[in-house]
Structures are given as structure tokens and as C-alpha cells.
Structure 1
Amino acid sequence: MLPARVLAGAPLALVILALSGCSSHWGCTDTTAGRGEAGRRVQVEDTSGRPLGVTAEVVGWRLEPHPQVPSEGDKVHFHYRFDGADETSGPAVDACAVDKERVALGCQTVYSSGAWPEPDGALVGDDWLAVEHPEQVAGVLLIPNDQSYDRRTCEQDIKDGGGTHPPKPAGRGLQL
């Protein structure tokens, strides 16, 4: 038999557990990290803005028809490099073709895990960006925010979601 004072405290304990429980939406908050400064070479950063020890760089680009769809005209063919990234679970950054005012003409996310290893340990790859007016492209820039991991939101999972998320993927019209 339980002592009376233990039984008397049970309702209070249940109230405390209910109010502090993970199912309470009061404890789940979503925030979005600020977008980092885009550049040709960037230090990849986590959602708190801390460097991950990985550098991403656009090592070259040119306008040319994609070999699988040459009838679609010129696309932006760019080459990139990740230094310090893990081959299987490394970071990802947004790459954007920009005009001379640094306005994005087309963007996509490039993953270090999709690149191939070089003898020096770097991971290198290439990709294509489709833009409406390829003649306006003045360069390709990378945005340093790691896009490889985006935890679940409160709306998706009130129990395990929440926290700081990377900025939304970059898109056309964004001023970089």
C-alpha cells in the first residue's frame, strides 16, 4: 500500500508531465538560418553559421548545349570542388548562375556526396544549370549554407521536429 502523501502528489506529477510533454506544441519551434554570403569559394556553414571545416568552390563554368538535349540551346555547365568533405555524407550547397548584378538566374543544390574523389582528397563534380537567358550569365556562385540536412518541422512532427533549418533553397530572382 502506498503512503497517503505519495498518492496526494500523484495528480500534481501528472499535471507537470502533461504540461512538459513532448506532445505539447508549446515546446516545438521552427526557425530558419540566415542566408550566408555567396561567393565563388565559400566555407560551408551549419544552421548556426559555424564553419563545418569544408570549402566549396566553383572551379570553372561555360555556356554550352547539354549533350543529351542539344536542341534546347546553351545551358550553364559548371565544375565544383569540395575540400574537407566526407565522400558519403558530406554537405551540400546551392549553386546559382548570376547576372552582373548578382541576381540569380537559375539555382540548384549540389551535393558533395555526388562528386568523385581526387588523389588530393578533394571531391569534384560538374553539373548543369538551365537559365532562361544564358547570355546574361556573368558567373556561378555558391551559397555557404549546408543544405544536406534539414530536420523535420514542428508541423511534420511535433514530438521530434523543430529547431533551426537551413534557408529555403535558392531560386531565380534572389539577390546574392
Structure 2
Amino acid sequence: MVPARVIAVSPLALVIFALSGCSSMGCTDTTAERGKAGARVHVVNTYEQPLGVTAAVVDWRLEPHPQEPTEGDRVHFRFRFEGADEYTGAAVDACAVDKERVALGCQTIYSNQAFGPADDPLTGDEWLAVEHPEQVAGVLLIPNDQSYDRRTCEVDLKDGGGIHPPEPPSRGDQL
């Protein structure tokens, strides 16, 4: 049997514990599942809810980068973000893939990089360096928004935690 004095003090101890900042003992980090890659994707947040933004690969080709022509061919691709504005700031991972959809090289592209010509201001371009450009069969986008990554519990036990975007894809990942 628990003494009445312990029962009376327990709620007070919990309040003090919570007010002292120790309430974050329940801080948890989770990582969202990586969405299915495609040449055109609907960007989703970490809860897999659509952001109302579509990202698409407009075209791609192999060619030397104009500032480093002696480095050989790179993947030069154009992309488009529809539904994004300066406030939504969506970002997705773009990967050059082989015919088996294995990533050969990846990087994150942001909607604010889309600054195309006046007749298509939603379009931008980027370059990917890959070890074997002759193996590139296409460029795919991963739908998970990478523009916001909250603090982790490890970094900030009090204010961190929650769902984080999936880990960025790496060379060799099956998409």
C-alpha cells in the first residue's frame, strides 16, 4: 500500500519535472519513408501529404560542363517546379540513374533555383557529375520535400524530434 503522502506529492513532482525542461525525456526522432522516384513527382512533406507542388525533369543530356570541359561529360538536366513560390520553397533530390534505376549520382535541387528565361521562369538547370556517364539512362526526382529538416533530439533534446525527411539517396541506391 502506498502512503497518502507519496500520492499527494507525486503530481507536484511531475509538474516540477515538466517545468524544469525535463519533459523532453520523450523526445523521439523518426525518418519518413522515401517516396517512389519518377521523372515527374508530386512533392510531399514528411507526413506524406502533398504540398501542391509538382517537380519534373524537363530534359537531360550528357555534355562537358562549360567551366570544366576537360573533366569529361556530366549530366546536364533541366527541371521545373509548378505550384512553388518564394514562400513554399520546396526541394527534392535529383539522381542520374542507370537502366536498372540505380543511382549513379544525386543532389538536392530547390524550387528557388528555377530561374529560367522570362518565358519559363519556373525552369532551372543543374549538373550532376557521375563516375560513368555512359551508364546514365535518365534523371529521376524523389518526391520527399528536403527543404525543411527540424532539429534532432541529439542536437536539441528540448525542442528537437519529430519526423525528418528520408536520408538523401547515395550512389548505388535502388530507386
CA separation of 1:48/1:122 partners in 2, compared to 1, >3 Å: closer, same or farther? farther
CA separation of 1:116/1:88 partners in 2, compared to 1, >3 Å: closer, same or farther? farther
CA deviation map 1:33-65 (0-9, x unaligned): 000000000000000111100000000000000
Q: Which moved more, 1:117-126 or 1:107-116?
A: 117-126
What RMSD, in angstroms, separates the aligned Cα atoms of the two structures?
A: 2.1
Over the matched positions of the two proteins, sequence identity in percent amounts to 68
Following superposition, the deviation at residue 18 of structure 1 comes to 3.9
Following superposition, the deviation at residue 30 of structure 1 comes to 0.1
Question: What is the letter of the counterpart of residue 72 of structure 1?
Answer: E
1:95 corresponding residue in structure 2? 94
Q: Secondary structure at the match of 2:22?
A: coil
Gaps in structure 2 of 5+ consecutive residues: 1-7
1:166 corresponding residue in structure 2? 165
Following superposition, the deviation at residue 19 of structure 1 comes to 3.8
Following superposition, the deviation at residue 13 of structure 1 comes to 4.8
User: Contact between 1:89 and 1:113, CA under 8 Å: does it hold in 2?
Assistant: no
Following superposition, the deviation at residue 122 of structure 1 comes to 5.9
User: Contact between 1:83 and 1:121, CA under 8 Å: does it hold in 2?
Assistant: no
Question: How many aligned residue pairs are there?
Answer: 168
Following superposition, the deviation at residue 20 of structure 1 comes to 3.4
Question: What is the letter of the counterpart of residue 82 of structure 1?
Answer: F
Following superposition, the deviation at residue 88 of structure 1 comes to 4.7
2:62 corresponding residue in structure 1? 63
CA separation of 1:51/1:120 partners in 2, compared to 1, >3 Å: closer, same or farther? farther
Following superposition, the deviation at residue 86 of structure 1 comes to 1.3
Q: Secondary structure at the match of 2:60?
A: strand
Following superposition, the deviation at residue 26 of structure 1 comes to 2.6
- TM-score where L is the length of structure 1: 0.88
Following superposition, the deviation at residue 174 of structure 1 comes to 0.7
Distance between the aligned counterparts of 2:138 and 2:34, measured in 1? 19
- Tell me whether 1:137 sits opposite 2:136 in the alignment: yes
User: Contact between 1:85 and 1:122, CA under 8 Å: does it hold in 2?
Assistant: no
CA deviation map 1:113-134 (0-9, x unaligned): 1221676886210000000000
Q: Which residue among 3, 14, 29 is the counterpart of 1:16?
A: 14
Q: Secondary structure at the match of 1:173?
A: coil
User: Contact between 2:114 and 2:121, CA under 8 Å: does it hold in 1?
Assistant: no
Distance between the aligned counterparts of 1:48 and 1:54, measured in 2? 15
User: Contact between 2:17 and 2:23, CA under 8 Å: does it hold in 1?
Assistant: yes
